[in-house]
Amino acid sequence: MNKSLSDKLLQVKQELQELDSLAIAYSGGVDSSLLAALAYEFMPKESVELIIADSPSIPRSELKEAQALASEKNWRLTVLYTHEIDKAEYQANSGNRCYYCKSELFSEMSQYAHENNIKTMAYGAILDDLSDHRPGAQAAEEYSVIAPLQILSKEEIRELSKERNLPTASRASFACLASRLPQGEKVTIQKLSQIEMAEEILKKYKFHQYRARHHGELIRIEVEEEALDRFFDKEFRQQILSQLKKVGYRHITLDLAGYRTGSTH
């Protein structure tokens, strides 16, 4: 570990050790998993609790993997059921959809923290997020949710995760299922379910980074660029076409540009 990263880790350690008790918004992803690991490393175990949101925007497999990791690491985990899908503002899927999602989560977390005498809430925002459009950051500010990892880059997050033998160290980035819909297209449980089933098929075929971009009856598949040539195999192509059509898509396309963030918008 270089000195710069060592100094940053010390800063995170000092911030966490100053806290009396902490509830972490946990998803099982790269960032929140490291935050959980560091909190349990630097704080008394009984003063840390992880909170995971369960809603239709989270794939069942992702939820199970997050729960399994917490169980393996003996992290205390509570599931809160959030209802952002019921909000008209969230369904509208405008440019600030994430605000309503995070606001719902932090509202539920705030109530839980109050009832359980937890003094501070945190989430896994990192340095890279500062250069991106993140409406959820506004919700975090409104609910006084801290971001101890916001001095660390994604590369540094992965390095620290690897040092702690976290399986998330090399895990692909993930975003909620609603992010697969074009901005302005209404979010519904039926669409989220359809996207989830499509991505489970891609996951089964061992793609590392993938998205099933939903465009009505058409699905636009994105995979890591180095995996595009897998689709040149006719037998493989027919297998995956058959399965994706069973999900309900009439037209199935492969994006030749490969995976990239935010390409639905």
The structural domains of the chain, with segments of one domain joined by +, span: 3-170, 177-254
pLDDT of 177 above 60: yes
Asked whether 220 and 226 are in contact (CB, 8 A), the reply is no
Q: Of 263, 41, 256, 1, whose CA–CA distance to 148 is shortest?
A: 41
CATH class of 3-170: alpha beta
Tell me if residue 155 falls in helix, strand or coil. helix
Instruction: Give residue-wise pLDDT tens across range 25-73.
Output: 999 999 999 999 999 999 999 999 999 999 999 999 999 999 999 999 9
**What fold, for 177-254?**
Alpha-Beta Plaits (3.30.70)
Mean pLDDT of 80-99: 94
Check pLDDT > 70 for residue 263.
no
> Taking the model in full, what pTM does it have?
0.92
Question: Whole-angstrom Cα distance, residue 58 to residue 79?
Answer: 12
Provide the percentage of residues in the chain whose pLDDT is more than 90.
90
Express each pLDDT in 115-157 by its tens digit: 999 999 999 999 988 876 678 899 999 999 999 999 999 999 9
Question: Residue 265 pLDDT > 60, yes or no?
Answer: no
What secondary structure letter does DSSP report for 171?
P
Strand-pairing partners, residue 129, are none
> In the prediction, which pLDDT does 173 show?
83
d(CA 20, CA 143): 18
pLDDT in tens, 251-260: 999 999 999 8
